[in-house]
Structure formats: C-alpha cells, structure tokens
Amino acid sequence: MGTEGDAVRVIAGRYRLEARLGRGGMGVVWRATDELLGRRVAVKELAQDDTLSSEEARGRRDRTLREARAVAQLSHPHIIVVHDVVEDGERPYIVMELIDGGSLADRIAEHGPLAPDEAARIGLALLGALRAAHAAGVLHRDIKPANVLLERDSDRVVLTDFGIAQVAGATTLTETGSFVGSPEYTAPERMSGAHTGPESDLWSLGALLCTALSGESPFRRDSLGGILHAVVFAEIRTPPQAAPLLPVVRGLLERDPGRRLGAAEAERLLRAFRDTGRTPPAASSGYTPTRADLPQQGLAQQGLSPSRLGQSAQERSTRGVLIAALLVAAMAGAGVSAAALLVNRDGEGGGSPTSSAPRETTSAAPGPTASGSTGPTAASPSPTGRPSTTASHAASRASDDRPTAPSGYHVADDPAGFSLAVPEGFTRVPQGERVFYMSPGQTFRLGIRIAEPEPGGPLAVLRRAHAGGPDANPGYHDGKVTETTHGARPAALWEFTWDGFSAAEGPRHTYDLCWEEDGRLYDVWVSAPVGKVREAREYFDVAVDTFVTG
C-alpha cells in the first residue's frame, strides 16, 4: 500500500511520483504516472551514498545507469519490464512496469505455504526468467520471495528488482566490495567471496522453493552469524513439505556450484512433476540423497547403497566464512564473532594409515579404521582445481597459536602434544599410539595419530592403508585416496565405507586426512554410522581446521 502523504514530484520532465510503494536497501519504489504516454509505472529511486566524493558519486551513477540500461534490454514474460533509466538532480531512477499484485513473500505471509504444484509453476516461471537473464550475461544476485511478484487476476509470475544485478564484464550496481543480497538466500560461494556465476542464482531459487513450500527459509536463524553458518557449513535440512519436489530442491541446494542442478534439468523435473504428480530423479546433478531426505522410502527402493549417502564433496572454507562475516557485519553492524562462524565440518574416521593396515579399536568397544573423504574438504582441492586449503587453520588460532573453538566445541589440549577443537561431550580415550575422542556411546569416533614419516609421504601412506582396507575394516568398499594439501603442506585424504565391527554397530563411513609437519606424520580421522555422515564431516573438518601441534 502506498504512502499518500508524500509530496508529488515530477522527474525527468515526465514521471510524476505519486505514492511510495516500498523502501529497501537500494532505495525507494514509487507508484507514478508517465505523463508523456499516460500510463501507470513504478519508479525506483536509487539511494545515494553521502560518504562518497563527488567524483566517486558520479562514477557510481554512471555505472548504475550503464548497467541498468543493459538490464533493460532483457525481454521475457517473467522478467519485469524496464521502460526507462533516467537521471534527475544527479540521482538515478529506474522506470518499470507497474504490477497489479503483491509479492510471493506477501502471499506466503497472508495465506501460508504453497501447494507443490503451485510452487512448481512459480519455479518454472523463474527458471525461464533466469535462463533468459543468464544468456544475456546478467546475474540477478537477489532471488527471494520479496522480489517475485504475482500479478492479480492472472497466472503471471514476475521476477523484479534487478537492482543489485551484475552484468558480465562490469562492476555491480552497488558499491564495489560491498556485500549485497539477502543472506538467507545467498549461495555459499558468494558468502565465501569466491567467483560466482549463474549457479549462484540457482541456489537462491532452491532456497526460495523451500520457503514457498514450508513458509520459512531453511537457513533462517536468530542471528546473522547463525545464517552464515547455516548457509556455508551446517547440514541442510529440507522441510518435509519439500518432499514432492525433493530432487529439484536438493539439487539446487548443492553447495558445490560445479555439481549444482542446472536450469534446464530443473525445468525438466518440475515439468514432469506438473504433468505426472511425481518428480523423477535428476539425470545430471551432484545431489546425493541422505537418509534424512528419504524418510518414507527404503534405500533399496531408491537404488542407493550406504556408500552413496553423503554430503556434497565441497564445503566452503572457514576462511571464506570469515570473509563473508566481515563483509556482512560491516554492512549490518552485526558484530559477528569470527569464532562463532568457525563451524561445521563432518568426518569420522578409522585408524591411522601405516604400512600395516590401520585399525581403530578400544578396550571398551571396537572402533573404525583410517578414513578420509571422497571430495574436497577444507583441506582439499576444489573440483575446479583451485586449492581450497585450510587457511582457516591459521585464522582460527588465538594470538598464542592456540585454536579457537566454534560454538558447541571446546579446545582439547592433549598431553600427546597437540590441540584441537572437539565437540562438547566427547571423551578422551588413549589407545597406544592413537588418541580418540569419543561421543557418548562411541557413535562418533575422532582419532589422532602422530608417527615418524614414512617412505612416499602421506599419499603413499594412505594408498597402502587403502590397499589393506579389506583386511582391517570388515566389508570395506568405495575407498578412495585423493592427493591434496593441508595448509601449504602435501597431504592426502582417504574416505571409505565399511560394515562396522559388529552387526549391532552397523555400516560406518570414515574420513581421514594425513600430512607431514615439522618432521612428523599426522593423521586425523573421524568415523560414524552412514546415516550420520554430515555430522561426521562437521567434526572432521573442525578437527582438521583447528589442529595445532606443539
């Protein structure tokens, strides 16, 4: 609803601003009349930054006008029509079509979550809009329910507010270096300050679909730091209402942009759902279902073996989260604690790799053997080949080189000569040359081994352990050793699934990282039941990121 008390103004000699429709971080939106053509329009008055010099302000205005005109070239039934881009009194304005209707956010607030068919219809419309924008080299960067308009008395869905869009080869409409967008709907690679592309908009669409189906973003938390952690690290718990569209939602919410569901495949799946009432499996997606995603369907029915149950291979580095925290905190004045953001990495492993097969046992109960991770973690290379090393390993330490524990963890200063962050409630269990930190009931087992270097270095060590895996780990399968780095040091990752030491214990999955440092061989692993691999990866990555020798 507009604010009628505002003084009427005419800008650029033709647009009469009549009532304020809304205000946001990018400026004010007005209901207006184009007096030249006699039609109703919406006009966005972009906010000015009074801290800029006159030269900087002019440069920003020029960028805004240039890039907004590029966005105005987009032509698609589900993209807002930009009629004009003008400047009045050295302030830029974007003139758009006026949509008779509210936003998707308004619809959800007033009437609750959408039915799956309606959510699929809106998702298809937005995918069409995004494909057209991306083909023209335009990234939206702020996909959220408030920026989706639902035209009254028609089925038209309109993607609006390209105010922070990015045009290929250009700077953004907002100040260079500022964090822009809505954190609950922002892709993890944008949070970490990495290069982003069309895949980032698709992540946001996945979060939007969750919100449309359940009424709330899966990344909503009570604090900005909590949101950042949820987006970048925490297990993604899709709402039960998303089950009918689960292959699409989970495929779009794949943290590794290289494995994220593409727009064409997402369209195919949504159309199939609307045609048949069922969503087929994705043909080309990095999405790997977890048991939490399949509450009513057996693994065999889904064609899944326990070894395929897991999280995305790539998690953003803690360093990236710290960068994001600094950017967003600077923007919002949130005062985010870096330590509070040093969170969630899974992993649980078995013994340490040696020339003889590693074994993880305790006097109280059997334990897993050496393990690693199939894909990159904080200490592993990204799928793109760029190293994603644990820079956070150094960033997370206090000035005395002691690690800082994330929320829910404490720093264990071990008598064996190292420190690391372990989850609250874990108990230290020494076992010869190995040290374990066990959860209650030994569901999760975090192991550390320090030894003399071996021929061939960490990679050879873990390859030998992998070769002996079937002897040391009953039912050993799907083992993989990956060469990587830990900090600037050569390292290796090992990941595998096995049957556990007893039928009562059941199948387990193990992650293991091995590296050399200061003339010693270090091995850190975590193992856990296959249904709890995401929690395990969290424990594993936190342990690796915070591990300090001496």
List active site positions.
142
Owner of token pair 């920026």: 147
Q: Which helix (H) or strand (E) holds 468?
A: none
Taking residue 267's Cβ as centre, other Cβ atoms within 10 Å add up to 16
Nearest of 421, 450, 454 to residue 435 by alpha carbon: 450
Say which DSSP state 241 is in. Answer: G
Instruction: Give the CA dihedral 390, 395, 396, 398, nearest 10 degrees.
Output: 140
What is d(CA 92, CA 44) in angstroms, rounded to the nearest whole number? 9
Contact 360, 367 (CB under 8 A): yes
Distances from the Cα of 227 to the Cα of 8, 224, 334, angstroms: 40, 5, 12
Q: How far apart (Å, rounded) are the C-alpha atoms in residues 374 and 372?
A: 7
E strands, 439-517, are: 445-451, 477-486, 489-498, 508-517
Please tell me the distance from the alpha carbon of residue 57 to that of residue 47, in angstroms, as a whole number. 11
Residue 362's alpha-carbon distances to 295, 367, 449, 513, in angstroms, are 33, 6, 14, 21
How many Å apart are CA 117 and CA 97, to the nearest integer? 28
CA distance 358 to 476: 13
Say which amino acid occupies 74.
L
Rg (CA), the chain: 26
Main-chain phi, psi angles of 441, to 5 degrees:
80, 0
Taking alpha carbons only, the member of 74, 143, 148, 135 closest to residue 107 is 148
